[in-house]
Chain A
Amino acid sequence: MYNFDFVKPKTLAEAAAAMAGDEAQALGGGQTLIPSLKARLASPTTLVSLGGIKEMVGVCTGDDGSTCIGGATTHGAVAKDAAKLYPALAKLAAGIGDPAVRNRGTIGGSLANNDPAACYPSAALASGATIVTNTRKIAADDYFQGMFTTALDAGEIVTEVRFPVPEKAAYIKFEQPASRFALTGVFVAKYKDGVRVAVTGASEGGVFRWKEAEAALSKDFSAKALAGLSASADGMITDLHGTAAYRAHLVGVLTRRAVEAAA
């Protein structure tokens, strides 16, 4: 890797100040960033570690009943601490990577990176979560703006994610054989006012909502409500591990399985 300065602020205010510097880069668990640095694919001047900011770590229930997760909370901690509050979300966290990844990687890092095959974006979008930053609150529907692209401004830090807790939910991931990221993953969440279905891994545009399935499931939250529905292969990813048609097919299969798992 190239040389860089490293700071580990103790407060959000210090972190925000450090991030204001030219070519500063926030460091969550480093599960994507550190390999990029080692391969000399990234060359920040300053790495601002968010791991020392206590106010950004932990899982709790908000005043409105939401499950609130600090941006620097590891997947491993979410898997454990959200298990009772939002079981489907905790299960998703427990299935990311392997134990080493889960003990380093953070929810804020994952959402800020917005890898098109990451698990968390589907949970945030399907839950209609609110992404809280050091400067504002962003609705999930506005936050995800395409592969590796988000609504975050330069220097903006994801401090917390607030997940409204659904009545029923499930996430089903079909793993890409090599990376074990989602070749396609579907998160289905049923709320009193409707069902949301978010798909990761499949689209060239990153995580997206499958609106037709949402409409059908909102009327009848059952696998049979999906009969005859199929996702379009337009804009889906084709790579070594699957064609667009295969991914579109998986969206249908996994959505049905997620509904069955949630029911």
Chain B
Amino acid sequence: MPKDHGIGASIKRREDVRFLTGAGNYTDDINIRCQAYVYFLRSDVAHGKLNKVDTSAASKMPGVVRIFTGADFAAVGGIPCGWQVTDRHGEPMKEPAHPVLAQGKVRHVGDPIAAVVADTLEQARDAAEAIELDIQELPAVVNMKAAVQSGSALVHDDIGTNLCYDWGFVEENKAAVDEAIKNAAHVTTLELVNNRLVANPMEPRVCVGDYSRATDDHTLYTTSQNPHVIRLLMGAFVLGIPEHKLRVVAPDVGGGFGTKIFHYAEEAFCTFAAKACNRPVKWTASRSEAFMSDAHGRDHVTKIELALDKDNNFTAIRTETYANMGAYLSTFAPSVPTWLHGTLMAGNYRTPLIYVNVKAVFTNTVPVDAYRGAGRPEATYQIERVVDKAARELGVDPIALRRQNFIKPDQYPYQTPVAVAYDTGNYDATMDKLIEIADLAGFEKRKKASAAKGLLRGLGVNCYIEACGIAPSNLVGQLGARAGLYESATVRVNATGGIVVMTGSHSHGQGHETAFPQVISEMLGIDESMIEIVHGDTSKVPMGMGTYGSRSLAVGGSAMVRATEKILRKAKKIAAHLMEASDGDIEVKDGRFHVAGTDKSVAWGDVTLAAYVPHNYPLEDIEPGLEETAFYDPSNFTYPAGAYACEVELDPETGRVTIERFAAADDFGNVVNPMIVAGQVHGGIAQGVGQALMEGAVYDDNGQLLTGSYMDYAMPRATDVPFYQVDHSCVTPCTHNPLGVKGCGEAGAIGSPPAVVNAVLDALNSGGIKIDHIDMPVSPSRVWAAIQKAKA
């Protein structure tokens, strides 16, 4: 009988009732009396000198409150970057200014030039059309490799280069890696592109700025994954508002996928303008604006070399990657191709020598930052593609080659050559489970059935590992993070026993409101319905670093556990007093406090009531009340890992690929709510399949975004993905957090793209069409073109 409550129960998500019945409260649902609307006039050229922004006629248009330009923000800070990477030579990265509204130059299509605040949005748009612009168009910097050649146009003239940093990791290993590759029995080389993606959360970004003249308090309602981080970045670095005068609220948020982590100019603008206009100011992005102003993801161009000895043991990996930063440094952009990517290049394998070189490049495109997986999908894709190619070149079974090189269960903790140390794992176990749930034994039969229809069937298998539960503050501080990455939780027990948990982990689809109470229910033995989760409001939650990097349960959940442990300690003292026993003898079971070895007990509610009505209470020992706060700073990352298998059918006449089967065997450590975990994996795989087969943001040579709408940016739909076989029964609990959990939010998006591409190449090669690689998205036209080239 599966559990129906507590840890391990597949409880239905309580938040879905409001989400699915139209009762959610999203930022766009928030409307404040006397609210005005802002429309951003955005650049339609990728790169240009702003000679003139004349708002005189527009300012006289009906309904206009005020029009702002870059000049209005001259005295205000720019949008800050939260991570400083140090390059190969020990120099800090180049960090150009990022003004709220463009000053002097526009640097990408969508760069905001002016902001019109008016009584209605249509009036603001009308006035924006009346703004006179004189932009002297400059050559657009689009191609990363050309951008770092001398003579290229410069995105930022003042820094004198388009190279943000040239990073080497581990620099001390470089010579040894070069030597190992020179002496290898076999070297497999692969050049590949990790395609630029647009996150496309269902809810576009929205913000509402509000200001109280009476109290000088600012409030920003915004679609954010981490309102406290926005409060810090915007308050301290942009607008100069101290935390106690600035409240940031991120209410229901309709999906983030990383792109709602970052502090955006529109947030600073609405906060600033609310005071300047003495009116609430609201902005709701159109989908078109989202395409040209939400931070994009991925966009790496990589060459990877894998060296093997004569027995097919991996001996070294060397990579060179160009990573697109876009026109400005988004909040965490510099960390993605470096510390979230280079440190994962060992993958699931015992490769002893690794050297990763990353050149981060400014271009006249939308800033690029973390997107579901952030750096780890790029690492996984390179490793798992090059291993597959090596297996084909060597004529060995790709699963056997992987197994041969796996880190083995008795080798943990395993120190990789790329800084991180894996605490636990069992990659053979997840591979065994995968082979079972994917029914690999039945593949050949299915392949014959496909062949009978004139279709090529292919099987792609890969492994992945990720570093989640981000992150130990002292470590990331050394690596350049300008923030700590702990989490906080306050557990407030009310007099009648109900509990409110104020957590810094923001929920925007992850199901925290359901899963977090399951943990407390397990600890206290009380029903989940007695526990409420509050998040997303800096005036309610003490502190929070937010939700990204699959960290909520591992870090935020751990903080909650620590706070609940404090509650338990105090509650036991109260119970001991009520029963005239020693607190060391108190046991908690089924929501009651028992004196061990006796039939004496008091109910949870008796204890909580005593805490707030302390008539019979150990006032000399402890304070009344029952509320505790804990901060949790992890001592290591967590390392979820697994094995994925994809089966495709490929129509050799049209190049069309369909995904017929997909299986995922994951080790997430302990699982709190298996249904929610399965849902996270499902969604992640859908996004990974989208990246592999369909999605791709494309700029032309002039820096125009060719995929600026759903007419050209292909999103996966329900019919594009199969029913999945997912399993997370292979558990090696995390050794360093109290729940033994690892995180599951990004795994699907990290593990699935190589499985899909490997499957496509297996279909082609096993069908007699020799092709080494096709870049994502593996669209029908690309497959067809590759087939024509192979046949030629």
List the interface of chain A (C-beta within 8 A of B).
1, 39-40, 174, 177-179, 183, 240-243, 246, 249-250, 253
- A240–B656 alpha-carbon span in the complex (Å): 16
Q: A174-B654, A177-B694, A253-B653 are in contact. Are A241 and B781 (CB under 8 A)?
A: yes
In the complex, the chain A residue whose C-beta lies closest to that of B707 is: A240
Which 7 pairs between the two chains have the least Cβ-Cβ distance? A178-B714, A177-B714, A242-B781, A179-B711, A246-B781, A253-B653, A178-B712
Q: Is the interface of A mostly helix, strand, loop or mixed?
A: loop
- A141–B383 alpha-carbon span in the complex (Å): 56
- A205–B694 alpha-carbon span in the complex (Å): 27
Residues of B within 8 A of A249 (CB): 784
The answer on a CB contact under 8 Å between B712 and A179 is: yes
Tell whether B612 is near chain A: CB-to-CB under 8 Å: no
Q: In whole Å, how far is A172's beta carbon from the nearest beta carbon of chain B?
A: 10
Tell whether B721 is near chain A: CB-to-CB under 8 Å: no
Q: A177-B714, A178-B713 are in contact. Are A240 and B698 (CB under 8 A)?
A: yes
- A243–B122 alpha-carbon span in the complex (Å): 40
Tell whether B159 is near chain A: CB-to-CB under 8 Å: no
Q: Can you sample 5 A-B contacts with CB below 8 Å?
A: A177-B693, A177-B714, A177-B780, A178-B712, A240-B698
Interface size classification for chain B: 20 to 34
Chain A CB within 10 A, most for which of B125, B713, B714: B714
The answer on a CB contact under 8 Å between A253 and B654 is: yes
The answer on a CB contact under 8 Å between A40 and B785 is: no
- A246–B780 alpha-carbon span in the complex (Å): 9
Q: In whole Å, how far is A241's beta carbon from the nearest beta carbon of chain B?
A: 6
- A39–B777 alpha-carbon span in the complex (Å): 28
- A253–B777 alpha-carbon span in the complex (Å): 23
Of B125, B711, B780, the contact of A178 (CB 8 Å cutoff): B711
In the complex, the chain B residue whose C-beta lies closest to that of A177 is: B714
Residues of A within 8 A of B785 (CB): 243, 246
Q: In whole Å, how far is B307's beta carbon from the nearest beta carbon of chain A?
A: 37
Q: A177-B779, A177-B780 are in contact. Are A240 and B712 (CB under 8 A)?
A: yes
Of B288, B706, B784, the contact of A240 (CB 8 Å cutoff): B706
Q: In whole Å, how far is A242's beta carbon from the nearest beta carbon of chain B?
A: 4
Q: A178-B714, A179-B710 are in contact. Are A241 and B654 (CB under 8 A)?
A: no
Q: Is the interface of B mostly helix, strand, loop or mixed?
A: loop
List the interface of chain B (C-beta within 8 A of A).
122, 125, 288, 653-656, 693-694, 698, 706-707, 710-715, 777, 779-781, 784-785
Residues of A within 8 A of B288 (CB): 39
Residues of A within 8 A of B122 (CB): 1
The answer on a CB contact under 8 Å between B710 and A178 is: yes
The answer on a CB contact under 8 Å between B784 and A246 is: yes
- A177–B714 alpha-carbon span in the complex (Å): 6
- A209–B214 alpha-carbon span in the complex (Å): 72
Q: In whole Å, how far is B329's beta carbon from the nearest beta carbon of chain A?
A: 28
Residues of B within 8 A of A183 (CB): 780
- A179–B713 alpha-carbon span in the complex (Å): 8
Chain B CB within 10 A, most for which of A40, A242, A243: A242
Residues of A within 8 A of B779 (CB): 177, 241
Residues of B within 8 A of A250 (CB): 654
- A40–B288 alpha-carbon span in the complex (Å): 12
Residues of B within 8 A of A40 (CB): 125
Q: In whole Å, how far is A54's beta carbon from the nearest beta carbon of chain B?
A: 33
Chain B CB within 10 A, most for which of A39, A240, A242: A240
Given contacts A1-B122, A246-B784, 18 further A-B contacts (CB under 8 A): A40-B125, A174-B654, A174-B656, A174-B780, A177-B780, A178-B694, A178-B710, A178-B713, A178-B714, A179-B710, A179-B712, A183-B780, A240-B698, A240-B706, A240-B707, A242-B780, A243-B781, A253-B653
- A243–B656 alpha-carbon span in the complex (Å): 15
Residues of A within 8 A of B714 (CB): 177-178
